[in-house]
Amino acid sequence: MIGLTGIQAPEHPFDLVVSGINQGANVGSATGISGTVGATTIAITVGGVPAIAFSANNIGEGPEDEGFSDHLREVAAYSAQLVDRLNSRREPDGGLLPPGTALNVNFPAIRVGQTKGLHFGVQGKGSPFALRFEEKSPGVFAPAFARAKSRADVAGSDAEALAQGHVTVVLLDGDYTAPASAREKVKGRLDPPSPSAP
Query: b/e for 33-52, b at 16 or more Cβ within 10 A?
Result: ebebbbbbbbbbbebebbbb
Residue 134 lies in a domain: no
Domain total of the chain: 1
Question: What's the whole-number average pLDDT of the chain?
Answer: 85
Which residues form the domain of 166? 2-127+154-190
Residue 141 lies in a domain: no
Residue 197 lies in a domain: no
Q: Band of the pLDDT at 181, cuts 50, 70, 90?
A: confident
- pTM for this predicted structure: 0.82
Q: What CATH number has the domain bearing residue 158?
A: 3.40.1210.10
Q: What is the mean pLDDT of residues 84-109?
A: 92
Which region among 11-15, 19-23, 125-129, 139-143 has the lowest average model confidence (pLDDT)? 125-129
Residue 63 lies in a domain: yes
Residue 144 lies in a domain: no
Q: Residue 98: what pLDDT?
A: 92
Q: Residue 92: what pLDDT?
A: 86
Question: Is the pLDDT higher at 149 or at 71?
Answer: 71
Residue 148 lies in a domain: no
Q: Band of the pLDDT at 145, cuts 50, 70, 90?
A: low
Residue 172 lies in a domain: yes
User: What is the percent of the chain where pLDDT is above 90?
Assistant: 48
Residue 7 lies in a domain: yes
Rounded Cα distance between 18 and 54, Å, is 8
Q: What is the mean pLDDT of residues 93-114?
A: 93
Query: Which residues partner with 70 through β-bridges?
Result: none
